[in-house]
Amino acid sequence: MNKFIPRLFASFFISGASWVMAESGATPVYQLADVQGTFIQVPLTHDIYRYARHADLHDLKVLDAEHNALPYQLVTLIPTPEKSDPKIITDALAFFPVAVDATPDTLRQLHTSQTRIRGDKVQVATSDKVLDNKTPEFYLIDISKIDHAITSINIEWAAQPDNQYLEVELEATNNLQDWFSLGHATLVQISQQDQQLKHNQIAVDISKKEYDFLRLKILRGADQLNIIRMESQQKISPLADIPDTSESWSIGGQPAKIQTSVYFAHSRAKTQTVSAWEFTRDEVTPVETLSVDMGSTIYGDGIKVFSRTAENKDWQLLYQGIWFNAQVGEKWQTSEPLKIYQNHDKFWRLEFTESAKNYSPPKIIFSWQPTHLQIITNNKPPFSIAIGREANASSNQQVFNQIVSAASPKWMSANLIKLAVQPEAIITETGKVEWRQWIFWGALVAAVVVLLMFSLKLFKQLKMTDVSK
């Protein structure tokens, strides 16, 4: 009997300690596959927040095959624009050398005769036929048939010692009478042995059909100038093509029990009847934008958007304004998504006007930029992503930073395989850790008290035995 009590106490302590330690461990929810290399990077979808209890993922761990914790960090990668070459549209221009004192009527006749002879296929007129055998005062350039914007005028000429440098002035008109300056430029075309320096482009900013004619004046280098070709160019710089790497998902709601507004600060009435819907999401992903999917319901009126962290908290107004959903041709168009800036509230409420009471149930569409997990692995695969009690984030980050700074790694991609673990099991298990520990330590104290009582009783029996002797 005397030996049985200490043994029972020891057995209870060992089994209880094992029980508590097992409960405080981490549960793998994903396994890494196709791992190549030591420095691994994987994106985490919003599904990880169905298991995690913290919006900052402090309860996330990365484990090897022996359940050793691996260093990691969470990063948000900003997509970089994809580079693409600009598009250039080039058109040959008809140009005509014009003598001194040419009248607008002369210019019209010149242009009309030239275009009538050439018809639809306009050929380039060169300056070898100078009007009246004189050096032209300027060159008339026809841009009336250009159906797009012009960003530059290119001039090709036969370089001679006297016209390697050209100083030019470019003007524009619609009526061949009122001229508007487009600026001055210096053009260069030098050839020496096997080297060539060429700058023959005049930068302009002419909108589509803004002018019909240009006037090119040669301020320097006009003598014996033989212009071979003129052409217009439109350089179209592509918009930065930023790949969309955001993730979106939707949740459905239920008609709210309270169909009066929870916010009517600008109304004199004590209550305001609305059409209200409430939503509950099963994760705490820090969403960045919110949109409302009203399907094929036409709507263009006021809306209020609320959220809160718990059912016993007050609703917080996030947006109040106009929301529309309308069919334009064959497509439906709706308002731009609302920016809600890293919101991880679980409870949501939409309030429409009272006229929307019989509308189809709306959905809320959330969107966020997925977090990337960078992991430093070892030689003990397979590796898993687990959820447990909060890890020591500061020490993990210090170890991670020291290894990365010394290695200058190249991050390799891997795949995530979802394990058959229910989110409810993770939440229940992690939620039980604290009270199970209290039960264990309470039982341990009770066992110690019982042991002391048995020891005291045994001591009294021994004392009484000694006295009887």
Please identify, in words, the CATH class of the domain defined by 87-236: mainly beta
Distance CA 232, CA 141 (A): 10
pLDDT at residue 467, rounded to an integer: 55
Q: Which residues contact 443 (CB under 8 A, 6 or more apart)?
A: 12, 16
Q: Could you tell me the two tokens for 357?
A: 């009471």
- What pLDDT is recorded for position 149? 92
Is the bond preceding residue 286 a cis peptide, omega within 30 degrees?
A: no
pTM summary value: 0.56
Going by their DSSP bridges, the two strands 150-157 and 227-236 should be labelled as antiparallel
CB distance 265 to 315 below 8 Å: no
List Cβ neighbours of 180 (8 Å cut-off, separation of 6 or more). Answer: 171, 172, 173, 211
Fold matches, 87-236 and 247-368: yes
Which of these, 298, 306, 301, lies nearest to 332 by C-alpha position?
Answer: 298
Instruction: Choose among 332, 257, 334, 328: nearest CA to 289.
Output: 334
Instruction: For Cα atoms 302, 307, 311, give the angle at the middle one, nearest 5 degrees.
Output: 130
The pLDDT of residue 257 is: 93
Options 3.10.450, 3.40.50, 2.60.120, 1.10.10; CATH of 247-368: 2.60.120
pLDDT value of position 113: 44
**What residues form DSSP beta bridges with 138?**
98
| Ranges of each domain in the chain | 4-79+371-464, 87-236, 247-368
Digit-by-digit pLDDT tens for the chain (469 residues) are 445 444 444 444 444 433 433 344 688 999 999 898 899 999 999 999 988 878 788 888 999 999 888 999 998 877 666 666 778 899 999 888 887 666 666 666 655 544 433 444 444 444 334 455 567 888 989 999 899 999 999 999 987 777 888 899 999 999 888 899 998 999 988 877 677 788 889 999 999 989 999 999 989 888 888 888 999 999 887 765 667 788 999 999 999 999 999 986 555 566 789 999 999 998 989 999 999 999 999 999 999 999 999 999 999 999 999 999 998 888 888 999 999 988 999 999 999 999 898 899 999 999 998 889 999 999 999 999 998 876 656 667 788 888 888 887 889 999 999 998 888 777 544 444 444 555 655 666 676 677 777 777 776 676 666 555 5
pLDDT confidence of residue 98: 81
